[in-house]
């Protein structure tokens, strides 16, 4: 159920609808919009009695939601969500660029890459301190020490930190040190982690699972939002197919497909999406052309020595060139206002 308020509904009208929802034992999710406020209801297993709301002051209509998702959907918020991260944003007019190494390795590496990322004008720095590796013998990340280095990068450059949490313990640390809480592809259906992300005070970047359907991915976002965290960014990072020429198959059609259903911003990760250095820039261009709100790019000062994902990492020069190219494409699609 979704309660749509009239354009002239007052704060008191909204508070009264929220009170009734709570009294019924459900949870209200209030989404102010450009022309009206909508209030989503979660916690109900069966239908909610529409008549309970229709007569309340300020209510325009009570709509029964038949789709499996409520909070991620355009019914709740017809305009796009802009996720604010301090003074930076994802989903607004500017193309968001999230760049950095796959994993935090050491101080020298992280600062060399961060300096190039800052110079490029990007606002976000990525780097894993907790790495969900396929093999238990592969480099697992520096843990809290890595997060401390990331916090130093933020201090020195002003870049916002995007980093992955893999479980409850790392979630507490990520929330303490970072600006955006990344949920990795392998954890897209780790429901307890999704709920934990939903209780985080920072935005969540939710990667699409390796074999997740669009609906499953959006329902994973719904888990986060149902806990009260509405700042979710979706990330398409490629899915498993029979193709052997790439590490994953980057599903660019996911961008317009999500747009049809959801107000959440979508970013493209052509690094994991292709797994190959020479394919990252062409697919980054395509991601911007298809309308993505941003890109995640793996960059390393010495890709040949990277402790993880070196084959898909761009060197600093390649990264700088990529940023010039994708900005040019973005400007053609959405020219910056003159003056």
Residues that bind ligand PEP (CB under 6 A): 102, 128, 132, 184-186, 207, 237, 272
Q: Give the separation between CA 32 and CA 60, rounded to whole angstroms.
A: 14
| Least distance to ligand PEP, CB of residue 183, Å | 8
Q: Cβ closer to ligand PEP: 33 or 132?
A: 132
> Measured in Å, how far apart are the chain's first and last C-alpha atoms?
44
| Least distance to ligand PEP, CB of residue 210, Å | 8
Contact of residue 70 among ligand PEP, Mn ion, none (CB under 5-8 Å per partner type) = none
Q: Give the separation between CA 62 and CA 68, rounded to whole angstroms.
A: 17
| Least distance to ligand PEP, CB of residue 300, Å | 12
| Least distance to Mn ion, CB of residue 113, Å | 13
Q: Is 309 in the site for Mn ion (CB under 5 A)?
A: yes
Contact of residue 237 among Mn ion, ligand PEP, none (CB under 5-8 Å per partner type) = ligand PEP
Q: Cβ closer to Mn ion: 75 or 309?
A: 309
Q: Kindly give, in sequence order, each residue whose CB lies less than 8 Å from that of residue 213, ignoring residues fewer than 6 positions away.
A: none
Q: Cβ closer to ligand PEP: 62 or 239?
A: 239
Closest listed residue to residue 217, CA positions, set 252, 256, 258 = 258
Q: Cβ closer to ligand PEP: 21 or 171?
A: 171
Contact of residue 183 among Mn ion, ligand PEP, none (CB under 5-8 Å per partner type) = none
| Least distance to ligand PEP, CB of residue 292, Å | 15
Cβ atoms of 294 and 96 within 8 Å: the answer is yes
Distances (CA, A) of 301 to 22, 96, 116, 285: 53, 21, 9, 22
Q: Cβ closer to ligand PEP: 226 or 296?
A: 296
| Least distance to Mn ion, CB of residue 321, Å | 21
Q: Cβ closer to Mn ion: 3 or 284?
A: 284
Q: Cβ closer to Mn ion: 102 or 299?
A: 102
Position of minimal CB gap to ligand PEP: 184
| Least distance to ligand PEP, CB of residue 316, Å | 18
Q: Is 105 in the site for Mn ion (CB under 5 A)?
A: no
Contact of residue 285 among ligand PEP, Mn ion, none (CB under 5-8 Å per partner type) = none
| Least distance to ligand PEP, CB of residue 99, Å | 11
Q: What are phi and psi of 181, to 5 degrees?
A: -95, 110
Q: Give the separation between CA 257 and CA 292, rounded to whole angstroms.
A: 11
Exposure letters 258-289 (e unless 16+ CB within 10 A, then b): bbebbbbbbbbbbbbbbbebebbbebbbbbbe
The first and second tokens of residue 183, run together, are 């949920």
Cβ atoms of 259 and 234 within 8 Å: the answer is no
Q: Cβ closer to ligand PEP: 52 or 186?
A: 186
Contact of residue 207 among Mn ion, ligand PEP, none (CB under 5-8 Å per partner type) = ligand PEP
Cβ atoms of 91 and 233 within 8 Å: the answer is yes
Contact of residue 222 among ligand PEP, Mn ion, none (CB under 5-8 Å per partner type) = none
27-32: strand order across its sheet: 27-32, 37-42, 2-5, 59-63
Radius of gyration over every alpha carbon of the chain, rounded to an integer in angstroms: 21
Distances (CA, A) of 206 to 221, 253, 264, 297: 7, 17, 11, 15
Q: Give the separation between CA 199 and CA 193, rounded to whole angstroms.
A: 10
Contact of residue 160 among Mn ion, ligand PEP, none (CB under 5-8 Å per partner type) = none
Please give the residue ranges that form the binding site for Mn ion (CB under 5 A). 102, 309
């Amino acid at each position: 159920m979704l309660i749509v308020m009239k354009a002239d509904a007052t704060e008191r009208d909204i508070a009264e609808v929220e009170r009734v929802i709570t009294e019924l034992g459900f949870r209200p999710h209030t989404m102010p919009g450009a022309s009206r406020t909508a209030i989503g209801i979660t916690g109900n297993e069966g239908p909610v009695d529409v008549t309970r709301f229709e007569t309340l002051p300020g209510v325009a209509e009570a709509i029964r939601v038949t789709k499996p998702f409520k909070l991620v959907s355009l019914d709740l918020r017809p305009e796009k969500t802009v996720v604010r991260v301090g003074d930076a944003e994802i989903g607004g007019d500017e193309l968001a660029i999230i760049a950095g190494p796959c994993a935090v390795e050491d101080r020298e590496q992280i600062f060399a890459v961060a300096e190039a990322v800052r110079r490029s004008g990007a606002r976000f720095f990525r780097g894993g301190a907790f790495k969900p590796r396929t093999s238990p013998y592969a480099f697992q990340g520096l843990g809290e020490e890595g997060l401390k280095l990331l916090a130093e990068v933020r201090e020195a450059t002003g870049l916002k930190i995007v980093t992955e949490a893999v479980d409850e313990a790392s979630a507490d640390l990520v929330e303490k040190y970072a600006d955006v809480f990344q949920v990795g592809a392998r954890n897209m259906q780790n429901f307890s982690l999704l709920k934990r992300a939903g209780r985080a005070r920072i935005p969540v970047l939710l990667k699409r699972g390796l074999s997740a359907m669009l609906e499953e991915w959006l329902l994973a976002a719904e888990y986060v939002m149902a806990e009260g965290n509405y700042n979710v960014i979706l990330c398409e990072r490629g899915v498993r197919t029979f193709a052997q020429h790439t590490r994953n198959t980057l599903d660019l059609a996911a961008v317009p497909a999500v747009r049809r259903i959801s107000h959440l911003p979508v970013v493209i990760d052509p690094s994991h999406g292709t797994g190959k250095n020479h394919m990252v820039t062409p697919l980054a261009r395509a991601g911007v052309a298809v309308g993505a709100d941003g890109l995640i790019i793996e960059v390393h000062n010495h890709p040949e020595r990277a402790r993880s994902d070196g084959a898909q990492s761009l060197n600093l020069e390649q990264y700088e060139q990529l940023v010039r190219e994708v900005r040019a494409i973005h400007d053609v699609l959405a020219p910056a206002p003159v003056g």
